[in-house]
Structures are given as structure tokens and as C-alpha cells.
Amino acid sequence: MNTNQSSGGAAGPMSTFMPMNIDAHPLEFTGSGGEYFRVWIVNVLLSIVTLGIYTPWARRRTAQYFYSHTLVAGSPLEFTAQQRKMVMGFVLLMLLTIAYNLAANTGQDTAVGLFLLAGAALAPFIWASAMRFRLGATRWRGLRLQFTASWKEVYIASWPVFALALVWFGVFYGLQLLSPDLAQALEAIEEEGKKQPMPRFTPAMGGLVLLGLVLSVLCVIRTEYNFKSLLVLKAQVGAERGRWKPVYMDFVKVWMATVAVFILCVVGFSALIGILAGSSIALVASQSDRLGLWMFVVIIVSIIAGIFMLILASAPARAYREARMFQLMWNNIGVSHVARFKCHLKSGRYVWLRIKNMLLTLLTLGLYRPFARVSEYRMKCESVTLHVKGGVEQVTGAMVRQQQGGLGDALADAAGLDLIG
């Protein structure tokens, strides 16, 4: 209540007398699952009543809830996107979706092809627009974040996307060279729509496809690396720019560890499924008098279980990758010479939390989702500590006005990229 107190908050008093002093500010999240459930159920209800038109308002409320409960060095973040722009972006996106669906459903192949091609060519542009909107709408202690990358830089950073297309073009061309029969068989399929005996699959062809797969994974990792580093390096708070330390190999290591986790999970789950399937067949055999209905039940149950297991088997690997990537990022980035971040997120704990949340969400048909979202956000947020050299009051910058022509950015933002997460 004291107006003279600086906003040190829980981090204790700050020293502005000794500029070289480094203060540690752990990030705080002051929201709760129950409270966010209320926010979320209001959004869901209003979306139902308005037939989905409430979506942009819901997105804004969600962002504002999470931002305003996230304290960075004692000051909450602000989400200041203009509602009008978000609505216009959403309406445009819906019109595009309807146009695409109309084209797809009425069999206008050229239009569908054009849509997909334009989407692919514009993907880097869309990503950059969304980032510009997101960062431009984020404010802390009155200062706006900014994403200052030019379109040229964005397209140069997305070279791996185009390399990926080249790789697969090369693989198909190489396959046709290695095996002329295959080319003929493919043509025959196109002409008649009938199946012909496929030609023999030689080890050389297998090697080529494997090479293509490895190269495409490397391209995907490079894309992720390029975009993330561009995002950090071209982000700005006031006049201070982002700092970025990770190298490409750090990303490759995380991906390799993820693949290892995935393989382990698949092996584990296959064993489990084997046991379950065996016991259910035994159960059916003992109930042979009402085989008809039981068979039906067993088939339905096994289909559901199969899909479920697929999600379940990949979930730990996905959570693991997310945790490792989060650590890598937040241990190695900073804001010019003013601030650095440290992260002490535990991968094991995060993976466990995600599995628990997924099971509870499935069991409650999605009603647990807001609690899950809050608990994951809290664990990530509170694992980060901000180290500031010389106090948080020193960041200055030319005032950045809210962009006036940001409608395209709002559209890009509506198109994807969950606000929170």
C-alpha cells in the first residue's frame, strides 16, 4: 500500500545504488486451477451460446488470465492486444476455412491445390506475423516487447523448410533411377487405378529412403533451431535485445534423447498390450455362450484401447522433449547485458505431471483440462529465475505504439499457436 516502495515484491529490496549488483527474481504464478476452471467454463459456455463466435474473446480472456497472474520481478505481465483486431482476424480465418472447405467438398482440385501451395509458401510469413502480434501485445512495467525481424531474415531462416522439399524430390527421383520398374508401376496405378505386383524392394532403395528420413529430421530440427534463435535474437524489450547461446547440436541432442525415450515407451507399452490382449481373449473364450455381444464389446474396447495406447506411448516422449527444450532455452537466453534466465525444471517430474494430467483429462472427458493447463504452466513458470544486473528499473526504450496495421498479424495469430504453453 506504500506508494514509495519499489516493486521488488517477494524478491526483497533491490539495490539501485550498486549497479553491478545482481538480483535474483524467481518468476511467480499466482493463479489457481479452480479459478482458471471458472474462466474456462465461462468461455466454453459463451462459445456454445454464440455458436463459436465468442472464440476471440475467449482467447483474450485466457491470455489475460495467465499473463496477469505471472509476476516477473514482482510485476505482472500485460496482454494488451486489441479485441477488435482479434475479432477481425478470427472472422477472416473463418471465411478462409469455409472457402477452403467449400473448394475441398465440391471437388475443385485446382483451388484446393492453390490453397495448400499458398499455405506452404506463406508459412514462414504467417509464423513471423503471429510472433510479431504476440510479442507486440505483451507488456511488462509499461514496456512493450517487440519482434523486429524483417521478412527477408524470416525467409532466410526458413531455408530448411525448402531443403526438406528438395530432399524428398531427390529421394523420389533417386528411387526412379534405381528401379525403373517402380516408375512404371506408379504410372500404371495412376492410369488404371488397379493394383499391379509391386517391384522388388532393394537394399539400395531402402538406404535411400532411410537417408531421406534422416535428412528430413535434421531439416526439421534446423527449422526449429532457426526459428527459435530468430525469435530470441530479434526480440526486444525497450532498447535491449535478446541474447541467444544454444547451438544446433544442443537441439539435435535433445531430439535424440527424445527418440530414445519414445522407443523405450513403445517397447514397454507393446509388452503391456500383449498381456492385456491375451487375457481378454481368454475372458471371451470362457463366455462363449454369448459370443456375439461379447465379441462386439471386445472389438470396440480394443479399438479404443489401441488409439489410447498410441497417444499414451508418445505422450512421455513429447513431454520429455518439451521439458528438455524448455530447460535449454531458459538456461541459455537473456536480455542484452542486463538480464539472464536460469531454469531448474526437472524433466522427470514434468513428464510425470503431463501423464497424470492426460489420464485425468481423459477420465473427466476434458473437464480436468483447465487444472492440467494451470499445473503445467505453474511448474514451467516457477522453474525460471530472472537474474538482473543493476536493478529492473533501468530498462528504457523509445516508446513503441501498438501497431496500427496489425490485422494480418491478428489473423496469423488466430490461425494457430496456442497463446499459453
Partner 1 sequence: MSASAHPALVPGRWFDGQSSKARPVVVSLRPTPQGPSLVLHPLSQPGAEPVVFAWKQVGWPEAWNERKPQPRVVVDLRDHGSVEIDAVAEWRAALAAAGERPGIAQRMQTRWPVLLGVTAAAVIGLTLFYRYGTPWAATQLTRFVPISWETSVAENVLQQMDNGTLKPSKLPSARQDQLKARFDALVQQTPPGLQRYSGYRPPLSLEFRSGMGANAFALPGGKIVMTDGIVKAAADKGLDDNALVGVLAHEVGHVVQRHTTRMVVQQGVLNMGLGLALGDVSGIVSTGASLLTGLAYSRSHEREADCYAIAVMRHAALPTAPMGQLLLAIARDEDNEETQKKDLGKGPTAAASAPSSGASTPDAARQRKVAQEIGSHPVWSLLSSHPDTVERATELERGQAPHCAKN
Which 149-188 positions form the footprint of partner 1 (CB under 8 A)?
none
Q: At what angle do helices 83-105 and 55-68 cross, to 10 degrees?
A: 130
By CB under 8 A, is residue 17 in contact with partner 1?
no
Neighbours of 217 (CB within 10 A): 15
User: What single-letter amino acid sits at 56?
Assistant: P
Burial of 76 (0-12, 13-18, 19+ CB in 10 A): middle
The least CB distance from residue 411 to partner 1, in Å, is: 16
The residue from 117, 394, 416, 421 that contacts partner 1 (CB under 8 A) is: 394
Residue 4 binding partner 1, by CB under 8 A = yes
Span 102-121, contacts to partner 1 by CB under 8 A: 105-107
Contact 124, 158 (CB under 8 A): yes
Report CA Rg, the chain: 26
Please report how the helices 159-178 and 180-192 are oriented relative to each other, as an axis angle in degrees rounded to 10.
100
Question: Is 382 a binder of partner 1 (CB under 8 A)?
Answer: no
For position 274 contacting partner 1 by CB under 8 A, the verdict is: no
Q: Which of 15, 26, 33, 78 binds partner 1 (CB under 8 A)?
A: 78
* CA separation for the pair 401, 330 (Å, rounded): 28
Q: Which grid coordinates are listed for 378?
A: 505453474
Whole-angstrom distance, CA of residue 218 vs CA of residue 203: 22
Least distance (Å) from partner 1 to the CB of residue 267? 27
Determine the 3-state secondary structure of 200 from DSSP: coil
**Which range binds partner 1 by CB under 8 A, 49-57, 121-129, 164-172, 220-228?**
49-57
Q: Per rule CB under 8 A, is residue 51 in the interface with partner 1?
A: yes
For 354, the grid coordinates are 503431463
Q: By the 8 A CB rule, do 296 and 287 touch?
A: no
Task: List the one residue from 85, 134, 139, 222 that touches partner 1 (CB under 8 A).
Answer: 139
Q: Taking CB under 8 A as the rule, which mask of x and - marks residues 339-368 in contact with partner 1?
A: ----------------------xx--xxx-
Contact residues for 185 (Cβ-Cβ < 8 A; gap 6+): 196, 197, 198, 199
Among residues 196 and 394, whose Cβ is nearest to partner 1?
A: 394
Considering only residues 218 to 247 of the shown chain, the ones binding partner 1 according to CB under 8 A are 238
How many residues touch partner 1 under the rule CB under 8 A: the total is 75
Q: Pattern of binders to partner 1 over 290-319, x per CB under 8 A?
A: -xxx-xx--x--------------------
Distance CA 90, CA 81 (A): 13
Nearer to partner 1, 5 or 286 (CB): 5
User: CB-wise, 63 or 167, nearer to partner 1?
Assistant: 63
Q: Which of 14, 27, 63, 69 binds partner 1 (CB under 8 A)?
A: 69
Q: Which stretch binds partner 1 (CB under 8 A): 72-80, 178-186, 212-220, 248-256?
A: 72-80
The answer to whether 253 and 327 are in contact (CB under 8 A) is no
Q: Min. distance of Cβ 167 from partner 1 in angstroms?
A: 32
| In the complex, least distance from residue 172 CB atom to partner 1, rounded to whole angstroms | 27
Asked if residue 400 lies in contact with residue 146, where contact means CB atoms within 8 angstroms, the answer is: yes
